[in-house]
Structures are given as structure tokens and as C-alpha cells.
Amino acid sequence: MIIENTLPVLLSRLDFAFITSMHILWTPVTIGMSWLLFFLEAAWLKTGNEHWYRLQRFFEKLFIVNFGAGVATGVTMEMAFGILYGPFSQAVGPFFGNILGFETITAFMYEAGFIGLMIFGWGKIGKGMHAFATFNVALSSSLSAMWILVANGWMQSPTGVVLKNGLFQVTNWWTAIFNPNFNIGFPHMWIATVELALFFFAAVSAWFILKNRHADLFTKLLKPTLLALIIVTPLQIFIGDELGREVAQDQPTSLAAMEGHFHTYLPDGKPNTAWNLIAIPDVAAGKNLFSIQIPHVLSLLETHTWDGVVTGMDHFAPNDRPNVWVPFYAFRLMVSIGFFLFLMALWGNWLRLRGQMTAEKLRKNPLFLRLLVFSGFLPYLAVWTGWWTREIGRQPWVVYNLMRTWQGVSHMGVTAESVWLIGYIIFELMVWGGAWYFFTRVIKKGPDMDSPVIGTPGSDAHQAGGGFAKPTFAKPTMHKNL
């Protein structure tokens, strides 16, 4: 259909894609890191070891900069459904709207209630209460991710609804919420947040060890981080494979795009089992202009059999096919990053087994440390490319097989859409640039090793409702007297 690729529809997709891509820079860190902060705090409370406390307070500073950016970009997301995709919001309202309502009520407000206590409550509430607040921030942000993945998973595999009077009315809440895509998509996304946060820890630790600042402290952190990664990274690859098989079953067009798989059968009538390592796809012609293929790998991956049939693009009408370039290469990038990170986790733990995991010896291995710093950025790219694969692979549908994207687009002109896009480019790049710049500033400053630990004599601990005992700007006034 010609409406599919008209400028207003493409621009509305770009509008939404941009704000989503910018929002997903922040939330995975919040979700993953809040658990890690809770573990640091619990380790401090259990062992009484001060260094866990120092690390907690240091990463908490980075966490809150990140959290602010997440809130700033997140409020937009919730309104953008109605603004940019009004008819979509109306049609999916009975299910999707309810789920977003569930999210704001059970997760968003829950998180907001405890984040203030977690960040600003030090010394104002008891240690136990504070750890409880941190735990609740972690739980609520994970809950939030769950609801979002319920909603998005349902767009990929819409089950449990019937289209009546122009609305998707729910016939079975259970199957709609636990839709096939969500059941594997949520673990995949949630593990991604943990993996991202762990590599964030590892990268910052590696940087400090490399600079020989607080090197022993950060080596202490690096050990459990790498140990957790040796579990998380292969698990993520395994779940990713499961998700691929799920997509092959429920969203064959998306899988065909991800794999550049155009022909279900070979000219001789046998199933096309070849997996494309790289390819130059030509969607209009319905084939790859060039590709490097490995036979049987695709069937092994998607059906776990030697000669299983994997539905190709030629099975679908030309106007039901998504773009191939983006899902194909974005998917490959994500998978490569997943394997690279797994190798990094292996390498780190191998060093530890050989007794190399001391600050002194690690510094003699700058390549490992530098690659670890580099690995801090890769999960971000993996999250981006993974989400792009998911969203572009679903096209031209907004609700797979039921509602096409152009049917959901709001009544807007090209001018309004362009103003939105340009404005958000300016504001969200400002947020991104600012937050990452201030990350570097906080990291360069390093952890505060001097101020007294909360709850010990001389610290700014006081009763509930106590004021700010240590005003940051007290110093300039004192200088006047000198």
C-alpha cells in the first residue's frame, strides 16, 4: 500500500524511534544498577566493611545522574503514545492502556516514592530502612520493565484479544499478559540490564585500576563483578537464542529480516537451511545480491534440527515485508557484542584463577583493563541494536498481523512532526551530553574516602526529619572571614 511509506508516516516512526532510543540509554542502567547498589549496601551492613559503603555511595552518585535523565526522557514516552499514535492508543487502549496504567500505579510511583529516600535519606532514616528503600527501588524498577515488556511483547505477539468496534478487547487477560514474546523477551531485556550495569561497574573499576587510583578498592569490586558476569553473559546468549526461536515461530517476517532469509526452499525443492554471515539484501527483488552462507546453521539455530524448514520472506506478500538492512546488521552487531562480552568475562575469571587478580598484576596487563573499559560502552550498543531489530522487524505492523503502523499514526502534519523531531534532538542530545559529561566528572573525582561513614560518631546522622547538617556552600562564607 502506498500510504505505508508516505512522509508523515515515516516521520512519525522516526519521531517515536528517536525518543525511545534516547530513553533506553538510561533505564537499563537504573534497573540493573539498583540491584547492584542494594547488594553493595547489604554487603556493608552484613560485614561492616567500610569499602562496600564507599563504593555504594560513589556509584549512587552516578546512579542519580542517570536516574534524573531517565525520568526526564521517560515522562515524554508515556505521553508520546497519545500524541504521535492517537488512533493506535485508542484501538489498543483496553489492553495496552491498562498495562501502562498498571505500570504507573504499581511501579512508577512505587519507585519514585523510594528513590528520594534512597538518595537523600542517608542519616535521616535508619540504616535498615535505607537498605529497604534501596531494595524497593530495585524491585520497582524491575517491575516497571516487566510491564513495559508485557506491552511491547504483546505488540509482537498479540494474544488474548479480539477486535470489536475498532478496539482490541481483551478476551483472556492471562494469555494477553503472558504473551509468547513477553515470556522470553522480558528475561532477555532484564538480563540485559544486569549485564549492562555489571559492565558499567567493571569498566569504571578497570579505569581506576589503570590510573592507579583506589586500585585495591576497585579490584575488590572487580572480582565479584566478573564472577557474576561469567554466569550472566552465557545465560544472556542462551536466552537470546530462545527468543530467536520464539520470533521464528510467531513473527516469521521479523526473523526472515533478521537473517536475510528470502527463500524458504532452494530451487531444487529442499529447505533452505543456510545462515547468512553477511549479505547485501535487496528487498525489492526479494533476494540477497551477495552473501556468505553457512549451510544448516539457520535450521540448527531456529528449529534445533539439521534440515528444519525456516519460513523465508518469499512466503509473504511484498507489502507485508519489513526492511532487511537494519534488522540484519543490527542483529549481527548485538550478537557479536554478546559473544565478545562473554569472552571478556572468561578472560577475567581465567586471570583470577591464575592469581592475577590483584591491582599490581592487573596493571601489568593494560590491554585487559583497556578492553574492559571499552566493554562498558558495548552493552549500550547491544541494547540499542536489539531494540531496533525488534521494532523494525515488526514493521509494517504496529500490532503484529492486526494493525498496520500507518493506521495508528496521529493526525499530524509534516511541519509539526519535524518540529517535534528537531526539538527532541536538541533536548535529548543535551541530556545525553550533559549526563555523560557529568559521569566523567564524578568518576574523575573518585569515591569520597574521607567523610565519616553514616551512623558513626561525627557523621551527619540525625533523627528523622533532621535538616542538612553539612551545607555544600558553607565554605565560601567561611573564606570571607579569613
* Positions in 75-134 near another protein (CB under 8 A): 75-76, 78-79, 81-83, 85-106, 108-110, 112-117, 119-122, 124-125
Nearest-angstrom CA–CA distance, 448 and 450? 6
The reply to whether 466 sits near another protein by the rule CB under 8 A is yes
Q: Which C-beta is closer to another protein: that of 88 or that of 135? A: 88
Piece of the chain touching another protein by CB under 8 A; list 6-14, 202-210, 230-238, 272-280: 6-14
253 near 320, Cβ under 8 Å? Answer: yes
Scan for cell 503484529, then name that residue: 400
From candidates 3, 266, 425, 429, binder to another protein by CB under 8 A: 3
Distance CA 85, CA 227 (A): 44
Q: Which CB atom, from 176 or from 341, has the smaller least distance to another protein?
A: 176
Question: 150 or 192: whose CB is closer to another protein?
Answer: 150
C-alpha cell at 257: 529480516
- Give which of 65, 64, 151, 69 is closest to 104, Cα–Cα: 151
Give the strand pairing for 161-164 and 167-170: antiparallel
Contacts of residue 87, Cβ cutoff 8 Å, sequence gap at least 6: 407, 408, 409, 410
Residue 37 makes contact with another protein by CB under 8 A: no
Among 115, 53, 61, 72, residue whose Cα is nearest residue 438:
61
Query: Which part of the chain contacts another protein (CB under 8 A), choosing from 47-55, 285-293, 333-341, 427-435?
Result: 427-435
For residue 453, the minimal CB distance to another protein (Å) is: 15
| 144/193 with CB nearer another protein | 144
* Number of residues located near another protein, criterion CB under 8 A: 98
Q: How many CB atoms lie within 10 A of CB 434?
A: 13
Tell me if 7 contacts another protein by CB under 8 A: no
Smaller CB distance to another protein: residue 103 or 259?
Answer: 103
Distance CA 451, CA 366 (A): 32
What are the beta bridge partners of residue 278?
Answer: 292
Handedness of CA 189, 192, 194, 196 (dihedral sign): negative
Among 401, 413, 429, 449, binds another protein (CB under 8 A): 413
Please select the residue that binds another protein; options are 68, 234, 308, 446, rule is CB under 8 A: 68
Residues between 173 and 232 that touch another protein (CB under 8 A): 173
Distance separating alpha carbons of residues 379 and 135, to the nearest angstrom = 24
Minimum CB separation of residue 324 from another protein in Å reads: 26
**Binding segment (CB under 8 A) for another protein, from list 214-222, 245-253, 261-269, 429-437:** 429-437
Regarding 480 and contact with another protein (CB under 8 A), the answer is: no
Minimum distance between the CB of residue 222 and another protein, rounded to whole angstroms? 25
Residue 429 makes contact with another protein by CB under 8 A: no
Site for another protein in 370-409 (CB under 8 A): 403, 406-407, 409
Identify residues 277-336 at the interface with another protein (CB under 8 A). Answer: none
Residue 14 as a binder of another protein (CB under 8 A): the answer is no
Site string for another protein, 247-276 (x = CB under 8 A): ------------------------------
- Closer residue to another protein (CB): 268 or 473: 473
Given 43, 170, 235, 346, the residue binding another protein (CB under 8 A): 170
Q: Using CB under 8 A, pick the residue from 368, 374, 427, 436 that binds another protein.
A: 427
279 and 290 in contact (C-beta within 8 Å)?
yes
Q: What residue type is 459 in one-letter code? A: S
Residue 145 makes contact with another protein by CB under 8 A? no
Query: Shortest Cβ distance from residue 221 to another protein (Å)?
Result: 21
CB of 308 to another protein, least distance (A): 35
CB-CB neighbours of 251 under 10 Å: 23
DSSP one-letter string for 283-305: TTTTEEEEEEEETTHHHHHHHSS
Among 128, 269, 355, 471, binds another protein (CB under 8 A): 471
Q: What does the alpha-carbon distance between residue 345 and residue 3 come to, in Å, rounded to a whole number?
A: 48
Residues listed for the chain: 482
Q: What angle do CA 374, 388, 204 make, to 5 degrees?
A: 20
Minimum CB separation from another protein for residue 260, in Å? 31
- Does residue 434 belong to the site contacting another protein (CB under 8 A)? yes
Q: Does 23 bind another protein (CB under 8 A)?
A: no
Which three three-digit cell numbers place residue 96? Answer: 495496552
What residue type is assigned to position 272 of the chain? N
Contact residue for another protein among 10, 42, 43, 72 (CB under 8 A): 72
- 351 touches another protein by CB under 8 A: no
Closest approach of another protein to the CB of residue 262, in Å: 29
Please identify which residue in the block is written with the cell numbers 515524554: 76
User: Which residues share a beta bridge with 292?
Assistant: 278
- Selected from 270, 304, 370, 441, the binder of another protein by CB under 8 A is 441
Q: Which residues contact 116 (CB under 8 A, 6 or more apart)?
A: none
Reduce the DSSP state of residue 101 to 3 states and report it. Answer: helix
Report the alpha-carbon distance of residue 437 to residue 62 in Å, rounded: 11
From the list 233-241, 269-277, 377-385, 412-420, the region that binds another protein by CB under 8 A is 412-420
Here the cell at position 212 is: 592507579
Enumerate helices (H) and strands (E) in the chain, giving the number of each.
19, 6
